[in-house]
Structure 1
Amino acid sequence: MSVILAIEWYTRWGIILGILALRYFVVAGIFFAIFYVIRKKYWIHRRIQTRQHQDQQYWQEIKYSLSTMFIFSIIAISILSFKEYTLIYHDISLYGWGYLLASFPLMVIIHDTYFYWTHRLMHHPRLYRIMHRTHHLSHNPSPWAAFSFHPLEAIIEAGIFPLLVFTMPLHPLAIFTFLLFMMTLNVIGHLGYEVYPKNWTRHWLGRWQNTSTHHNMHHELVKGNYGLYFNWWDKWMGTNHEHYLERFDEVTAQAKKPV
């Protein structure tokens, strides 16, 4: 019986690892293909940094990201092993469609708060040297850097999942949507190109949302701009880089060159 359970456990773990890796390669790969290969000349005017990427950097980012996927999958299968203690539910009528729809933005807000404070903590000199420096090896990140973490940082980043599933009722559909959203916004943050329109940071909605420039400056300057999805924590705590808005305007003001 124990052999059968072991086979079942490894099978589930393999499926989870495959799904996480597929999500990473599909989302990051699509953005990489569009901005770095197929439409590279079209988007050249929106490059945030002028320094060029090297193939060695891409492989390094992929290597660390695969390590992160491995750790994420171990944590995910561990959570599923104690599924009866989580608040994951499958019957939508149990909480209704209203709660299902509301649970997604709630997860995003909680994750944004979790990320900001753990991110700032990892910039403490001692923790930075131990774990977070690995992510900052990408001074000018590419889409492949989305999950390029040291194993210790990967564990901290994965901490949001048990925090969510053990504290609030979540339907698999909401979890799936959240994971896809997280992957996409993470890739955009590491894209190296600014995708948001000119004056977006002055729009009533855009001024509360982080841009590609926001996180790219964090990689380039290694301080400030700690937020993930939203800009409110950086605003409230005074950690936006003083030239962030100026840099965004500079990047988005560049004229598109004819292809």
Structure 2
Amino acid sequence: MLLQISIDKLIETARVLLSIAGRYLVFAGLFYLFFYVWRKKAYWQAKIQQRYPENKHILREIAYSFITILIFGAVIMLVIYASKKGLTKIYPNISDHGYPYYIFSIVLMILVHDTYFYWTHRAMHWKPLFRLMHKTHHLSTNPTPFAAYAFHPLEAIIEIGIVPLIAFTIPYHGTALTIFSLYSLLLNVTGHLGYELFPKGFASHKLFKWHNTSTHHNMHHRLVKCNYGLYFNIWDRLMGTNHPNYEKSFEQVAARRSKSQTAQPVIEQEAIGS
């Protein structure tokens, strides 16, 4: 009986790890293959930093990402175990709270995470914490989609901390948490994409300016002490932590991308030793 329970736990743990790894590889891998391999010449003008990182930096991002996946899996397994014991706020049927709340809960998760990320991120830029953990993520000065999970193990614990925070405080359906997780991964990958996809005027538009762009987070990786937000540009605007040249930098990339290029682009390989 005990052996069967142990085998069941191992199978469930493997399923969770494969699910996290599979999502990461699908999202990060497909974006990387499209923009950095298959269509890199076609989209070169949309590349925020006009050079590509060396392979060693990409391999480092992937290596740290798989350590992150193991840590994420361990924390999620603890949440699953707590849910089975009735300790979390999970509920079994959408009808228990209705579809309006179901949609609201996903929006609430996103807003809570955006706030959680901004303030934990700023805290990790305190010099002792930066040197201890966050510097690892900032080794990607010219990030690729694989940088989305390239964290020091301690930072990975902080990043996945949003899941138990939600699970123990917000009534949620399991699929709502899944949708939130997919949204989070998608925005994380596109934030580290290294290409700007939004149109000209997006970063200064009276409505759209409240949503972040790839340029916004790319500047954070390159310049460090600015642009701390994740999904939205709310906290950075409220706290005055946007880089003063953010909107200008966005427009420069968007304008460059929009121009028709007849000449073959010169693609540079990154030669920095970060």
> Normalization by structure 1: what TM-score?
0.98
- Aligned counterpart in structure 2 of residue 190 of structure 1, from 185, 189, 192: 192
Instruction: Please name the residue that 1:155 is paired with.
Output: 157
TM-aligned CA deviation for residue 213 of structure 1: 0.3
The two structures, once aligned, show a CA RMSD in angstroms of 1.0
Structure 2: stretches of 5+ with no match in the other structure? 265-274
- Take 2:249 and 2:133, find their aligned partners in 1: how far apart are those partners? 28
- Take 2:28 and 2:94, find their aligned partners in 1: how far apart are those partners? 31
Residues 81/48 of structure 1: CA separation in 2 closer, same or farther (3 Å cut): same
Indicate conservation of the 8 Å contact 1:87/1:166, yes or no: yes
- Aligned counterpart in structure 2 of residue 173 of structure 1, from 164, 172, 175: 175
- Aligned counterpart in structure 2 of residue 257 of structure 1, from 239, 242, 261: 261
Report SS of the residue matched to 1:139: coil
Instruction: Please name the residue that 1:86 is paired with.
Output: 88
Greater shift in the superposed pair: 98-107 or 197-206: 197-206
Indicate conservation of the 8 Å contact 1:58/1:142, yes or no: yes
Cα deviation, 1:161-212, whole Å, max 9, x if unaligned, reads 0000110111112111111111110011000010111111122331100100
Answering whether residue 10 of structure 2 is matched by residue 10 of structure 1, we say: yes
- Take 1:86 and 1:97, find their aligned partners in 2: how far apart are those partners? 20
- Take 1:135 and 1:26, find their aligned partners in 2: how far apart are those partners? 21
Amino acid of the residue matched to residue 188 of structure 1? T
Give the aligned length.
259
Instruction: Please name the residue that 2:203 is paired with.
Output: 201
Instruction: Please name the residue that 2:47 is paired with.
Output: 47
Matches within 5 A, 1:62-81: 62-81=62-81
Amino acid of the residue matched to residue 11 of structure 1? I
- Take 1:45 and 1:228, find their aligned partners in 2: how far apart are those partners? 24
TM-aligned CA deviation for residue 39 of structure 1: 1.2
- Take 2:7 and 2:136, find their aligned partners in 1: how far apart are those partners? 34
Instruction: Please name the residue that 1:30 is paired with.
Output: 30
TM-aligned CA deviation for residue 102 of structure 1: 1.0
Report SS of the residue matched to 1:41: coil
- Take 1:256 and 1:114, find their aligned partners in 2: how far apart are those partners? 41
TM-aligned CA deviation for residue 29 of structure 1: 1.0
Instruction: Please name the residue that 1:131 is paired with.
Output: 133
Report SS of the residue matched to 1:227: coil
Structure 1: stretches of 5+ with no match in the other structure? none
Report SS of the residue matched to 2:138: helix
Report SS of the residue matched to 1:131: helix
- Take 2:77 and 2:13, find their aligned partners in 1: how far apart are those partners? 6
- Take 1:42 and 1:90, find their aligned partners in 2: how far apart are those partners? 47
TM-aligned CA deviation for residue 49 of structure 1: 0.7
Greater shift in the superposed pair: 145-154 or 48-57: 48-57
Cα deviation, 1:60-107, whole Å, max 9, x if unaligned, reads 101001100100000000111111101111211100011001111110
Report SS of the residue matched to 1:82: helix
Greater shift in the superposed pair: 15-24 or 32-41: 32-41
Amino acid of the residue matched to residue 63 of structure 1? A
- Take 1:134 and 1:200, find their aligned partners in 2: how far apart are those partners? 31
TM-aligned CA deviation for residue 51 of structure 1: 3.1
Instruction: Please name the residue that 1:221 is paired with.
Output: 223
Amino acid of the residue matched to residue 253 of structure 2? V
Report SS of the residue matched to 1:175: helix
- Take 2:114 and 2:153, find their aligned partners in 1: how far apart are those partners? 21
